[in-house]
Structures are given as structure tokens and as C-alpha cells.
Amino acid sequence: MPGWTKHMRQKVWAYAHTQGLKLLKTMEEKGYVLPKDQYAREAIETVAAVMHLSDISPKDKLAAARTLLDFTMAKPANETNLNVKKAEDFLLDLVDEVKDAE
């Protein structure tokens, strides 16, 4: 933020940080998974604040938004439920399917 005084930068950053925290609170209420680790949480808060800064390029805002979504949106691989079955259970299921098909 060239040409800004320290006081002006602090004021803009405080507003952006507040808006970022509101965004994260809303995301938590909607079920997004946010990190519990202190340092990871601080990084996510910073990214959310960067999204609300008024004097950065759209490219940087989009990069911050992408970073936030990459770390908060559940990946399809994380949503799958793995059921471990014994070979006998698998064969019994196959027998049931064959009987149903007949």
C-alpha cells in the first residue's frame, strides 16, 4: 500500500481482519471444515483478511480465495466411506445379487 501512513494501513488491516473473521464464522456455521491447529487457523484467518483488503489486485484476491477454499472444502476422496468386508461377506453379497437377478 504505497503512500499510506502506518495508521491508515493498520486501520484497513483491522477492518479486513474483522471481515475475514466474520467470513470464517459463517463458514463454520455452514459446515465447512476449518483447521483446529493454532498456526493453521492463523494462516486461514490471514488469507480471509487478505480477501477483504481494498488495495490489492483482483489476481491476489482470487489467489487468497482459492487458497481458502482448497483448505476448507472437503475433497471427494475425503468424503468416501470405506467399508472393509471379509471375503465371505463379499461372496454372500454376490450370491444375493445373482439370486435377485434370476
CB–CB of 42/48 below 8 Å?
Answer: no
Return the biggest CA–CA distance within the chain. 80
In the chain, domain spans? 6-101
Cell numbers given for 50:
487478505
CB–CB of 79/69 below 8 Å?
Answer: no
Question: What's the pLDDT at 18?
Answer: 92
Question: What's the pLDDT at 49?
Answer: 92
**Tens-of-pLDDT digits for all 102 residues of the chain?**
567 888 988 998 899 999 999 999 998 898 888 888 899 889 999 999 998 888 888 899 889 888 888 888 766 665 555 566 677 777 777 778 877 876
C-alpha atoms less than 13 angstroms from C-alpha of 40 in its C-beta half-sphere: 8
